[in-house]
Amino acid sequence: MSLLVAFEISMLLTTVCAVLLAGWLLWQGKKQPAMPALAGFAGMMALWCAGHIAILQQWHAPGIMLVLANPLMPMFFLHFAVQFVGFGRQHSRLLRYWPRLKWPLYGLTLLLILLSWYGHGGTVVATAGFAGFFVFTGIGWLNLAYTVLLGVAAHLVLYLGWLRHSGNKRRSIVAMFLAGGWGLLLATSFIFPSLGLAWYPYPMLLLPSYLLLLVYGVVRYQLLAINAFANKALLWLGMLLLVLALMALVSAMLGQFGMQALAAVPASQLWLYSVLLLLLSALCYQPLAALARRLIYPGVQLSDTLLAHWREQLLQADSWPALAQQASELLSVQLRQQVRVQLPQASSADSDSGLRLVCQRDGSGWHYQLSGWHDVTPGYRLQGDVFAALLQSNCRILEQSLKLADAERKRLDQQHLVELGALSAAMAHELRNPLNIISMASASTSADTRQHIQQQLKRADRLIADLLSYAGQLQLHCTEVPLKALVQSVIQQQDWQGVQCELAIDEALNLHADSYRLQQVLVNLLDNALAFCRNQAAATIRLEASGNAAAVILRVHNNGPAIPQSQQADLFQPFVSKRAGGSGLGLAIVRRIASAHGASVRHRDDLGWPVSFELVFPHSGAVVAANLQDTH
């Protein structure tokens, strides 16, 4: 291969790479605002190399014009550098003045290019084995000086950015400086003929590497996808060099084995055939791999998009039952048949029939087991294994999240006790003494006045009791509590004043809880409901409970006015009263007692009632009846 052909191939490769990179960078411009300017830089490099190819093909006039358009290349790079360094910084002076300078600079650049064209700023001469090579003449030297000046300005902007930024952006700037030094070294040989030096421009043969290194240095820290592409590119480049070395060795040894016909084939042709074969293999690898997967694992529909969807959905689960349910739904939809997922902390039916995915933890970590999968196709089994590995990873993540949440809850509880314990004790001492004096003093007043005073004293005593209940440390004494009997005793203590009460709790339903604290919960919820229902037509409060293998669910409904959406976020916050005469601690006490039992409480408006409060007590010796009976 002659040096002339090598130069033409190098320019052609640079042109093709620059065009492809320009298109890709324009597409990435939707995500990175500085990328379109870098795409312009790549496009101008493609035109500059195309100008050299045109000169080699004896198209001197268009070739000279393309080469003299060289100043647009550093102009685009300066534009990119300003955006890359200043983007996202509102107080940047570069961003402040750049909009005023940008278009005048582009205009000046285009004007100089036009002057270079009309002033014959370049010509073609024969030198160093070239029948024609570009050299600067006359105003062309001003064109070159302006090009260098723009390049210096762009790198000065990058230096200022290096001083200001840190992290990946600073690393990108360093990579651009290194690539720029490499490009300067390669471009130096371009002006040899213009300086009267008849030297072959060997460095220009490596010009394709400059553009690739520059763009990769810019985007590798900004766009993670390019790193995966670079990883594959280096792999195929290594394979290409290995094939070339192997073919050189084979061609040298063919004559020793009597293969004279093959030995007579030029080494350049063997290399070309090998390169074409390798490129063909690279193009066919993905389709053939997909075909092989379809043949070996029929029905498999795994993709990066599907795996990302699985991962996103599993990460949304914030408890073991939620994770088990979410995983079961995702895998069942994918396989189009029911798959039950069992986790240690999430209860599940004990049936051994059907497909099951069991994920459990032992001393060495998390492990999974596919049960009942012996009759499924290899494709379904592969999908099950991939999903199980992903679920195993999510189990580790959820385990750590729950540990952190538990530690934070304990810290907040401790802080809560310290802050409010002292406050509640002080208030009980300071308030109850004067209240007792007022009570004794009211004995000498009239009957109506004494009754009014006693009612207000009872209210004050209730407020103090609520504060002590919320602030004090909870000591639970849990036993098996017949839930219906407990609820009935609480109902009998309330002043219903015409409000209808409905009860739907089975006689056989027991709850492992502290009966006194559970009564506090019911009293607070009923007091709250009665306060809003008494003035309603056909006022009704309904208490119902159900149980399963995982939990006992207790609900208190009422048909009072619905709670506005703006108030729902603060329902369980302390000292936020939603009714006249309330302490603002009723629902906060309910939540605290529920949390002490390991239960949860929440407000719901999707159960057919304007207002519903739902408590979910985790399974702990609950006895579940087959059906619920309604009692009015």
Just give the CATH number of 3-223: 1.20.1070.10
Read off the amino acid at residue 519.
Q
Judged against a pLDDT cut of 50, whether residue 200 lies above it is answered with yes
Mean per-residue pLDDT, 357-366? 85
Q: What is the β-pairing status of strands 510-513 and 479-482?
A: antiparallel
pLDDT band at 4 (very low <50, low <70, confident <90, very high): confident
Distance, CA of 508 to CA of 405 (rounded, Å) = 35
Distance, CA of 27 to CA of 42 (rounded, Å) = 14
| pLDDT tens, residue by residue, 396-438 | 888 888 888 888 888 887 777 667 666 766 776 677 778 777 8
| pLDDT tens, residue by residue, 96-149 | 677 888 889 999 999 999 999 999 999 999 988 788 899 999 999 999 999 999
Residue with the bigger pLDDT between 445 and 1: it is 445
| DSSP-assigned letter for residue 623 | B
Judged against a pLDDT cut of 90, whether residue 67 lies above it is answered with yes
Longest dimension (CA), the chain: 133
Q: What are phi and psi of 481, to 5 degrees?
A: -105, 120
Judged against a pLDDT cut of 50, whether residue 631 lies above it is answered with no
| pLDDT tens, residue by residue, 280-329 | 776 776 777 666 666 655 656 677 788 888 888 888 888 888 888 889 89
Judged against a pLDDT cut of 70, whether residue 177 lies above it is answered with yes
Among 208-212, 368-372, 604-608, the range scoring the smallest mean pLDDT is 208-212
Instruction: Report the pLDDT value the prediction gives residue 1, as an integer from 0 to 100.
Output: 47
Judged against a pLDDT cut of 80, whether residue 256 lies above it is answered with no
Q: What are the residue ranges spanned by the domains of the chain?
A: 3-223, 243-296, 304-390, 411-471, 479-618
Share of the chain above pLDDT 90, in %: 19
Instruction: Report the pLDDT value the prediction gives residue 541, as an integer from 0 to 100.
Output: 92
Give me Rg for the CA atoms of the chain. Answer: 40
DSSP three-state, residue 221: coil
User: Do 473 and 421 form a contact (C-beta atoms < 8 A)?
Assistant: yes
Tokens encoding 130 = 């070239």
pLDDT band at 59 (very low <50, low <70, confident <90, very high): very high
- Helix residue spans in 363-482 (DSSP H): 378-441, 447-471
DSSP three-state, residue 481: strand
Average of per-residue pLDDT values in the chain: 80
**Which of these, 555, 551, 527, lies nearest to 459 by C-alpha position?**
527
**pTM attached to this predicted model:** 0.44
In the beta sheet, which residues pair with residue 501?
541
- One DSSP character per residue, 135-196 reads EE-TTHHHHHHHHHHHHHHHHHHHHHHHHH--HHHHHHHHHHHHHHHHHHHHHGGGGTGGGT
Instruction: Report the pLDDT value the prediction gives residue 219, as an integer from 0 to 100.
Output: 60
Residue with the bigger pLDDT between 277 and 70: it is 70
Distance, CA of 83 to CA of 139 (rounded, Å) = 31
Residues 6+ positions from 439 with CB-CB distance below 8 Å? 453, 454, 457
**Which of these, 386, 390, 331, lies nearest to 356 by C-alpha position?**
331
Judged against a pLDDT cut of 90, whether residue 612 lies above it is answered with yes
User: Do 217 and 176 form a contact (C-beta atoms < 8 A)?
Assistant: yes
| pLDDT tens, residue by residue, 481-496 | 999 999 999 898 888 8
Instruction: Report the pLDDT value the prediction gives residue 622, as an integer from 0 to 100.
Output: 39
| pLDDT tens, residue by residue, 311-322 | 888 888 888 888
| pLDDT tens, residue by residue, 551-592 | 899 999 999 888 888 888 888 877 665 565 556 678 888 888
Read off the amino acid at residue 517.
R
Q: What is the number of other CB atoms lying within 10 angstroms of the CB of residue 80?
A: 24
The highest-confidence range among 140-149, 250-259, 446-455, by mean pLDDT, is: 140-149
Instruction: Report the pLDDT value the prediction gives residue 305, as an integer from 0 to 100.
Output: 82
Instruction: Report the pLDDT value the prediction gives residue 89, as an integer from 0 to 100.
Output: 47
DSSP three-state, residue 402: helix
Distance, CA of 255 to CA of 248 (rounded, Å) = 13
Q: Could you say which architecture CATH assigns to the domain 479-618?
A: 2-Layer Sandwich (3.30)
Instruction: Report the pLDDT value the prediction gives residue 257, as an integer from 0 to 100.
Output: 64
Tokens encoding 376 = 């499924």
